[in-house]
């Protein structure tokens, strides 16, 4: 029985921006992992306005489980994930980064915690988490300072809001992402804040994670931009813009 013959249970969203060098390995690993499962799945690659050959590389794979969608211009990772959620047909929706910093096998840890009204997120900062390749000291310092601010202002008790490995029930995802307003790096914080304001349980799960040395992120610039987004989320929350009766 192929993935297409099984009931579609899971949609995997992979946001991609200029990922021609890494996307093949990532998609083959995801496809091989879920092909062994007893449920149907789809992989939605969202091309976030790539300027390289990402789209061609994905199409050349000819994987039946993969669906490529795009919108022609770079809008940000948060926009890409949101766009993918709107396309998803599964009962559960996972998003994962194109660099495979979190190995796809870690999905089983999240899946073990599923609940009809639960958001399950991978975390690098729990005692049982395992980081195989660490970030450089400057990025670690920036990351931890940012995390402290996030916990203080909008997400008390959440140790790692930024890990790009999150699982949602489809109803929870539709509720959360329909209220999203942050489209770049701060979107993780916002969707978790929205989940909290809608009374959705958030379960943090330890994972294995490795830093990708090929990352194109400039830490200082991202930190500054994300800090501004954090204050926007805080303000939106204070104004009640994420509440169930507000849009």
Q: Residue 71 and residue 80: Cα distance in Å, rounded? A: 9
152 versus 46: which is more confidently predicted? 46
CB contact at 8 A, 170 and 93:
yes
pLDDT digits (tens, 9 = 90+) for 95-150: 999 999 999 999 999 999 998 779 999 999 999 999 875 555 455 655 667 778 89
CB contact at 8 A, 193 and 237:
yes
Q: Residue 79 and residue 71: Cα distance in Å, rounded? A: 10
End-to-end CA distance of the chain: 43
What average pLDDT does range 168-176 have in this prediction? Answer: 96
Q: Residue 36 and residue 177: Cα distance in Å, rounded? A: 30
Q: Residue 30 and residue 26: Cα distance in Å, rounded? A: 6
Half-sphere exposure (CA, 13 Å, Cβ side) for 9?
12
Name the packing angle between helices 77-87 and 170-177 (round to 10°). 130
- The pLDDT score that the predictor gives to residue 219 is 58
pLDDT digits (tens, 9 = 90+) for 174-207: 999 999 999 998 999 999 999 999 999 999 999 9
8-238: CATH topology? Spore Coat Polysaccharide Biosynthesis Protein SpsA; Chain A (3.90.550)
Q: Residue 61 and residue 182: Cα distance in Å, rounded? A: 32
- What token pair was written down for 29? 């690993």
- The pLDDT score that the predictor gives to residue 137 is 46
pLDDT at residue 160 greater than cutoff 70: yes
Name the packing angle between helices 219-238 and 137-153 (round to 10°). 0
pLDDT digits (tens, 9 = 90+) for 4-22: 667 899 999 999 999 999 9
**Domain edges within the chain:** 8-238
- The pLDDT score that the predictor gives to residue 215 is 54
């Amino acid at each position: 029985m192929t993935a297409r013959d099984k009931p579609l249970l899971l949609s995997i969203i992979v946001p991609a921006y200029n990922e021609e060098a890494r996307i093949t390995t990532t998609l083959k690993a995801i496809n091989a992992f879920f092909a062994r499962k007893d449920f149907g799945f789809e992989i939605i690659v969202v091309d976030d306005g790539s300027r390289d050959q990402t789209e061609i590389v994905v199409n050349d794979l000819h994987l039946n489980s993969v669906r490529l969608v795009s919108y022609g211009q770079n809008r940000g990772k948060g926009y890409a994930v949101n766009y993918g959620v709107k396309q998803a047909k599964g009962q559960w929706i996972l998003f994962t980064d194109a660099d495979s910093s979190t190995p796809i096998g870690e999905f089983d840890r999240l899946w073990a915690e599923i609940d009809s009204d639960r958001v399950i997120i991978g975390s690098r900062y729990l005692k049982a988490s395992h980081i195989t390749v660490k970030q450089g000291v400057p990025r670690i310092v920036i990351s931890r300072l940012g995390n402290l601010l996030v916990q203080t202002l909008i997400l008390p008790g959440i140790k790692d809001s930024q890990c790009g490995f999150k699982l949602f029930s489809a109803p929870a995802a539709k509720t959360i992402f329909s209220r999203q307003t942050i489209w770049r790096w701060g979107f993780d914080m916002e969707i978790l804040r929205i989940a909290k304001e809608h009374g959705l349980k958030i379960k943090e799960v330890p994972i294995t994670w490795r830093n990708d040395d090929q990352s194109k992120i400039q830490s200082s610039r991202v930190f500054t931009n994300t800090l501004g987004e954090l204050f926007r989320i805080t303000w939106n929350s204070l104004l009640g813009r994420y509440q169930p009766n507000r849009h």
